[in-house]
Amino acid sequence: MESCSSTHFILGKDYLIIQITVIKVSPVSLELEKSKSEQLNEAEISLHLTDKQESELSTLLYDQTESSASDKDQLGGIVGNEFDIILNIERPYPPLLRRPEYPESPKSIESLEIHIKELLDLGLIRKVGQTEEVEITTPVIVEWHNEKSRMVGGFRALNTYTVPDRYPIPKI
């Protein structure tokens, strides 16, 4: 059906000529339905929804696929919601923000490089050029007892020099 150039299809038992229904289908809507079904094939939708509610939910989920995680983008993302961190100090920054690298073992350095490469590939971080004069919090590897590790950054020093949000998230 996808390779057909015609947009008219016969539904029914046409070989018996008992009942023939001709419908007109837009190729764009066929492609959209195919794409929707591919995107939502793992979604579990409640059986308590009506057909109309299920259709509306499927459309909403399909429209918002960019913000959801997928095989290609493990974190999902909403473009346009970047923000600036405003500091309440000027250059030169205090020594608390310009710390040297922490000494790490070769095993930790190897884990750190793996984590940094993953974050670079996901587009969550970028390399900073030497001409940008940006002080960065040194990343630290936290290793668990099960031989797994994760990268963290110590942002306590940065938080002390950051202007607080005007409307922070309320504490519940």
Question: Which pLDDT value is given to residue 16?
Answer: 41
Question: Which pLDDT value is given to residue 72?
Answer: 65
From residue 129, give the alpha-carbon distance in Å to each of 5, 45, 92, 126: 53, 47, 18, 9
Task: Look at the pTM and tell me if it is higher than 0.85.
Answer: no
Report the half-sphere exposure of 127 (CA within 13 A, side-chain side): 7
Find all residues with CB under 8 Å of 100, minimum gap 6, and list them: 138
Instruction: Determine which helix (DSSP H) or strand (DSSP E) holds 152, and give its type and residue range.
Output: strand 149-153
Question: H-type helices in 5-105, by residue range?
Answer: 27-39, 51-63
Per-residue confidence in pLDDT tens, the chain, 172 aa: 444 444 444 444 344 443 334 444 455 444 555 555 665 666 677 788 888 888 888 788 777 777 766 666 666 666 666 667 777 888 777 777 766 666 777 777 787 788 778 877 877 677 665 555 655 556 666 667 777 766 666 677 777 888 887 776 767 6
Domain parsing of the chain, residue ranges:
1-40, 87-172
From residue 52, give the alpha-carbon distance in Å to each of 48, 56, 59, 64, 85: 12, 6, 11, 18, 44
Question: Which pLDDT value is given to residue 82?
Answer: 66
CATH number for the domain formed by residue range(s) 87-172: 3.10.10.10
